[in-house]
Amino acid sequence: MAKDDNITLRFECGGVELKISGKHEFVQKMYRTMMEDVEEARKRAEDEAHQTTVPEPPEGKRPSAWLHRCGAMMHKIYMVTNEDLESTLLDGFVDVVELSAIYVEDEVFDQVIGQVERGDTLWAEFTNLGRRKMKEIEDLSSPIREALTTPVPGD
């Protein structure tokens, strides 16, 4: 090297600019230290991205999840806790603390989780098919509509 043994390293990345000046050995040491810090920060960010943290429920509240009963004509939505799932096939396999929603097809609902339905539907909505069928019923003449919507004794 020349009689002036000083060097300068300039580093720009993501809006960060770093300039290191000094003796060759010092600049090399600082560069290695900086790259080790960058690698450590990168690994920490990756680890944090892969970790999932489950928030604790508010004090006095039991963790719960939305349970969707998905039928062709209508979807019904319930709120369930782990205690609600204890008597179902999902007991031990599903933890509502880890989930926000559970979707079960109407055809298997009674076998899988039918014990949950106690008439506690929080929300029900027609599917597109259900809305079309309701529109068809509305479009029928009054006597036919009345016959379709009048309960049959004994049912």
pLDDT digits (tens, 9 = 90+) for 131-152: 888 888 777 666 666 676 777 7
* Residue 116 clears pLDDT 80, i.e. is over it: no
Is the separation of the CB atoms in 74 and 68 below 8 Å? no
pLDDT of 121 = 75
Per-residue pLDDT, 129: 92
What is the pLDDT, as a whole number, of residue 54?
A: 56
Residue spans per domain, the chain: 6-49, 65-126
Does residue 6 surpass a pLDDT of 60? yes
Percentage of the chain exceeding pLDDT 90: 3
Residue 9 has pLDDT above 80, yes or no: yes
pLDDT exceeds cutoff 70 at 127? yes
Q: For residue range 96-106, what is the model confidence (pLDDT) as tens digits?
A: 777 788 888 88
Q: For residue 138, give the amino acid letter.
A: E
Query: How many residues can be counted in the chain?
Result: 155
Mean pLDDT estimate for the chain: 79
Contact 65, 33 (CB under 8 A): no
What does 44-71 look like in DSSP terms, one character per residue?
HHHHHHH---PPPPPTT----EEEEEE-
What pLDDT is recorded for position 154? 66
The closest of 20, 22, 19, 14 to 41, measured between CA atoms, is: 14
Residue written as token pair 């899988």: 112
Residue 128 has a pLDDT of: 92
